[in-house]
Amino acid sequence: MDIKGSAAIVTGGAGGLGEATVRRLVAEGASVVIADLAKEKGEALASELGSSVAFVETDVTSEDSVNSALDKAASFGPVRIAVAVHGGFGGGGRTLKSDGIPHSLDDFQKTIDHYLVGTFNVLRLSSAAISKSEPLESGERGVIINTASIAGYEGTIGQVAYAAAKGGVIGMTLTAARDLAVVGVRVLTIAPGTFMTPAYGMPAEMLEEMWGPVVPFPKRMGQPAEYAQLVQSMIENQYLNGEVIRLDGAIRFGPKSPR
């Protein structure tokens, strides 16, 4: 599908992977709504990128909020692209702590709510918005891209809630693609390895030192632009559907994070 002329929303569009995605989609000719909670950063990015970009303060877990972002996207043109790449929510911990205290159920639920329910909320509401766009000649109406993590396959110790949430995103990809085939909407998921973004809250040099040597090849962290490049390929290659693609330099997490 051509990116040019499509309207898109990017949840978490003011974050590390999200900003790179917004920049890439705009460069390829899309109009983009940055749907994020980070008002200052989102507005600054929107005003830098010009009139085909808007910021809408959005909480992915709220129906009204996501619909407002989609309405804004629809004001730009036919909505055909949704990329769910929000993140930044903590909530880690072992299933059973060394002092015998079990994982907080509340923290587990909050993590699932943010990463899995939030992603599904974006998926279901975007599918409704995209289904209202006229089909292209090929019958295609649009593409929805979710973001999982390789932790959804092999979470490290202390990541049980995050791993469950991301495993859920992986698990719903094929079924959602099957559900939405009837309206000509493809569904794909990217499972990133370790990408250099503000999410880690650490200086770049320290991060690279920690993760670079663990990646088989290339021996470095991923760059957000490489995530955005895969988003572009997923949109453009119509035969990709219902699939989760790892983007990770062949890294496989062991039981312990190098941190």
Ligand X SMILES: NC(=O)c1ccc[n+]([C@@H]2O[C@H](COP(=O)([O-])OP(=O)(O)OC[C@H]3O[C@@H](n4cnc5c(N)ncnc54)[C@H](O)[C@@H]3O)[C@@H](O)[C@H]2O)c1
**Is 162 noted as a catalytic residue in this protein?**
yes
18 binds ligand X (CB under 6 A): yes
Least distance to ligand X, CB of residue 20, Å:
8
Interacting residues with ligand X between 184 and 203 (CB under 6 A):
192, 194-195, 197-199
Q: Cα torsion at 68, 69, 72, 74 (round to 10°)?
A: -100
- Spatial neighbors of 167 by CB under 8 A, at least 6 apart, are 148, 152, 153
CA distances from 58 to 10, 66, 200 (A): 10, 6, 22
Query: Least distance from C-beta 29 to ligand X, angstroms?
Result: 23
Question: What gap in Å lies between CA 189 and CA 128, rounded to an integer?
Answer: 19
- Binding characters for ligand X, 69-108, by CB under 6 A (x = yes): ----------------xxxxx-------------------
Can you tell me which residue has the tokens 């003011």? Answer: 14
Residue number closest to ligand X, CB atom: 15
Among 3, 9, 14, 53, which residue interacts with ligand X (rule: CB under 6 A)? 14
Contact 221, 203 (CB under 8 A): no
CB of 246 to ligand X, least distance (A): 10
Q: Establish if 58 lies at the interface with ligand X (CB under 6 A).
A: yes
Measured from the CB atom, the residue of 88 and 242 that comes closer to ligand X is 88
Q: Could you say which of 25, 38, 49, 144 contacts ligand X (CB under 6 A)? A: 38
Of 153, 162, 200, 239, catalytic:
162
Distance CA(237)–CA(150), nearest Å, equals 23
68, burial (CB in 10 Å: exposed 0-12, middle 13-18, buried 19+) = middle
Q: Under the criterion CB under 6 A, does residue 142 sit at the interface with ligand X?
A: no
Specify the amino acid at residue 205: E
What are the residue numbers of the active site?
A: 162
Task: Give the interface with ligand X as residue ranges (CB under 6 A).
Answer: 11-12, 14-18, 36-38, 58-61, 85-89, 118, 147, 149, 192, 194-195, 197-199
